[in-house]
Each structure stands twice: as structure tokens, then as C-alpha cells.
Amino acid sequence: MKELVFAEIQVGDAASFSKTVTESDIDAFAGLTGDFNPVHVDAEYAKESMFKERVAHGMLVSGYISAVLGTQLPGPNAIYMGQTLQFKLPVMIGDTVTAEVTVTEKRDDKRILKLRTTVSNQRGEIVVDGGAVVKKIGL
């Protein structure tokens, strides 16, 4: 992973990460966080829900945004300062989601970036919409 130099990051720069959500991802996330809401972990319960099947945790799916921020744009030596999230649609087991971040503002004096953050499914539908603020230290 190559670290980006802050001076080279421009408004409009974008990066993305894609992942197919698996049953193991959901189970591992539940175990790590303690969020065993049955709509996520119990297929029989989920059948009776409005979703009719298990759905991924919203925070699991939004975590893919963090993957982009920490590894690509702005990459290593980025400090997460804030994130807004709107959960638009459910993500089901087997969905392939793509987290994308786009630089919308750059503040050179404080080395702060504002970014539009989205996660879309394989149909191109936005499932999570929001924004992030990060501070780039280092390069």
C-alpha cells in the first residue's frame, strides 16, 4: 500500500473497495461487537421481518468506508475525525457492495479532508450515504 502525499491529494480524487458480504462476515461482526440482533443472525426470525431474510449490520457495511480511508484515500496516517451515515437500503448475504470516497474539500492549513462517502450494491443502488472528515498526518 502506497501512502499518498497530502499535497498531491486533490478535490475530486476518489477511491473504492468492493466486497461480497458473507454469512461469516455477519456472524463475525456480531461476535466482535456483541450485536446479536436476530434480524442479522437468526434466519427463522429474519423470515418474519420486513426484510424476509437476514440482513447485514449497517455498521459492518459502513465499515468498508473505513477500509478505503485507511488504505487508499487518504490512506495510511489518516485520522478519522467524523462520519455521517444514512442507511438507505438493506444489504443481504451475497450482495456485493462497493464503498467509495470522494474528496469534496481540502484544508491545507490543518491537513483536513472532507469526503463524500457512499456504499452501493451490485445494482448500483446507494445503500449507505454520508460524509467523512479526516486529518492526514505524516507525508
Is residue 4 assigned to a domain?
Answer: no
Helix, strand or coil, per DSSP, at residue 104: strand
- pTM, two decimal places: 0.91
CA distances, 51 to each of 40, 60, 65, 66 (Å): 10, 17, 24, 26
How many domains does the chain contain in total? Answer: 1
As a whole number, mean pLDDT of residues 15-20 equals 98
Residue 2 lies in a domain: no
pLDDT exceeds 90 at position 2: no
Residue 74 maps to a domain: yes
pLDDT 10s digits, 126-139: 999 999 999 998 77
Question: Of 17, 19, 13, 20, nearest to 100 (Cα)?
Answer: 17
pLDDT in tens, 96-107: 999 999 999 999
Write out the residue range of the structural domain in which residue 55 sits: 10-136
3 within a domain of the structure (yes/no): no
Residue 65 is part of a domain; what is its CATH number? Answer: 3.10.129.10
Query: Within a domain: residue 17?
Result: yes
- Report the SS3 class of residue 27: helix
- Is 77 a member of any domain? yes
User: For residues 17, 23, 28 and 31, what is the CA-based torsion angle, rounded to 10 degrees?
Assistant: 140
Phi, psi of 101 (to 5 degrees): -120, 140
- Over the stretch 24-53, which tens digit does the pLDDT of each residue have? 999 999 999 999 999 999 999 999 999 999
Question: Would you say 139 and 77 are in contact if contact means Cβ atoms under 8 Å apart?
Answer: yes
Could you tell me if residue 123 is inside a domain? yes
Asked, for residue 105, whether it belongs to a domain, the answer is yes
